[in-house]
Amino acid sequence: MNITVIYNTSDSDEPSEQDTKNSAQEVAGALGATIVAIRKQDAGDRSFFEKLHTDIVFNLIEWSGFDTKYALQAIDIMDDLKIPFTGSKHYGYEVHSDKIQMKKKFDVLGIPTPRYQIYDKEFIVNSLRFPVIAKLAQEHCSIGLDETNIVFNANDLGSKILDLRSKYDMPILVEEFVDGEEVHVSVLDKDGSPWVLPPDRIIFEESGKKSILGHDAKWEGGKTNSSWGNFDDYSDTLKQNIIKSSRDCYIGLDGRSYSRIDIRVRGEKYFILEINNNPGIDWDDDNALCHSAKKAGFADFKSLLLHIVNDALKH
């Protein structure tokens, strides 16, 4: 089988962009696949994809923010040319790239999520309960996120919103901060249906501002202040509800091949923060998807990747 791994080049020195290239090399190495870098000018070029001559594309394109349109162009062309590929199609990629769309879809589906407001150019009176956390609405990989994004009063919130908008020029999502533990739920496709892998529970050493997985902790080698916990220690009701909501989220927001749902837990209550329909994929214990895959019985990286490839080919 001829497999081609595609990843996007970037003009940015953002560590998460370099991680995309590293992941592509690891995936291609494990599968014995061809690796191809795609530039923005290639994304809308049908001839670029026609020249691939491949049985399937393992899609590791991760353009986000203002560059999301290039990822959508590439996905649409592969779909139109009937080139099999892993990962989300147009809607799934678009909705996971825009937290505004995502939150509105959560509301429609009745998926529990923290109360939120969107701050764009107009002034909005805050109606949320402090503390709140401010996030870039159209970025991923925790870009622009650290402990200073958690604020406890209106003055600090206004300052943080102005700071983020001046640096990134995009809408800001502000939501009530859930001080507690975090759960990452990874979902694969299996025979055309969602397969929820054993969830990962994350316990933070400190509460409040220290209890987030910010940008530096993920990409700059910063201290995470967290460790893996035992998901099975939760009550049966909480576990069942988390798994059901994760499955509903995957289906409702068009997850495909593999996704990760990020959840906060406080007592017996849980709140879905977001779905990542294009999560990082590395055979590393720090990677939630692969950590869950090992618990699900995958012996090595290749077996996980082949499962993803074969299911994408069948469906």
Of the candidates 190, 194, 201, the one whose C-alpha atom is nearest the C-alpha of residue 288 is 201
The pLDDT value recorded for residue 237 is 99
For residue 174, give Cα distances in angstroms to 79, 133, 253.
Answer: 35, 6, 21
The CATH superfamily holding the domain 95-112+180-314 is ATP-grasp fold, B domain (3.30.470.20)
Q: Look at residue 74 and tell me whether its pLDDT is greater than 90.
A: yes
Quick check: 222 pLDDT over 60? no
Write the DSSP symbol of residue 275. Answer: E
CATH number of 3-85: 3.40.50.20
Look at residue 130 and tell me whether its pLDDT is greater than 60.
yes
Across the range 273-277, mean pLDDT stands at 97
Same fold, 3-85 and 95-112+180-314: no
Residue 32 has pLDDT above 70, yes or no: yes
Residue 86 CA to its chain's centroid (Å): 15
- Whether residue 61 is predicted with pLDDT greater than 70 in this model: the reply is yes
Residues of the chain above pLDDT 70, percent: 91
- Nearest CA to 152 out of 163, 162, 160, 142 is that of 160
CATH placement of domain 116-176? 3.30.1490
| 226 contact partners, CB below 8 Å, separation of at least 6 | 182, 202, 203, 204, 205, 211, 213
Convert the pLDDT of each residue in 235-260 to its tens digit: 999 999 999 999 999 999 999 999 99
| Domain spans, the chain | 3-85, 95-112+180-314, 116-176
pTM over 0.85: yes
Distances (CA, A) of 128 to 53, 61, 118, 169: 52, 35, 11, 23
Query: So what's the pLDDT on residue 227?
Result: 86
pLDDT band per the 50, 70, 90 thresholds, residue 219: very low
Lowest mean pLDDT among 197-206, 212-221, 300-309: 212-221
